[in-house]
Amino acid sequence: MVCLFWCRHTLQLSRELANCALEAQACYSLGNAYTLLGDYMQAIEYYLLHLNIARELSDGVGESRACWSLSNAYRAVGNSDEALSYVLHHRDICAQVSSLTCFAASRAVCLSTCLTTSFQLENTAV
């Protein structure tokens, strides 16, 4: 809970200072904190805020981080369609910023998400 306090404080301060880069980082940190607490819906809210700010700042790396985190959070709540959408977007951004590490990671998550979705569809009663 101490982490949440300081992350919220940083978010408030970043807004008072009109520092968008700091605000994005505070949102990302809050998303991570809520992920660790298992509150994925709250994490998604903060990751979406981070994503929007990263887009405003034309921050491709920040945008890819947000998409990666959103894909993981959506997988955690069982929303494979959203997870796949964000991991594919993450992959596309990584290709643009030429990050081989994030590109390889997104391929692995994409495959895992596709397999999970396929398994769920196969085991759904019609």
- The tens digit of pLDDT for each residue in 38-60 reads 999 999 999 999 999 999 999 98
Supply the pLDDT for residue 70.
97
Supply the pLDDT for residue 118.
45
Local confidence band at 3 (pLDDT 50, 70, 90 cut-offs): confident
How many angstroms separate the CA atoms of 5 and 57, rounded? 26
DSSP annotation string for 45-108: HHHHHHHHHHHHTT-HHHHHHHHHHHHHHHHHTT-HHHHHHHHHHHHHHHHHHT-HHHHHHHHH
Local confidence band at 123 (pLDDT 50, 70, 90 cut-offs): very low
Q: Mean of the per-residue pLDDT values for the chain?
A: 83
Q: Which CATH architecture has domain 2-122?
A: Alpha Horseshoe (1.25)
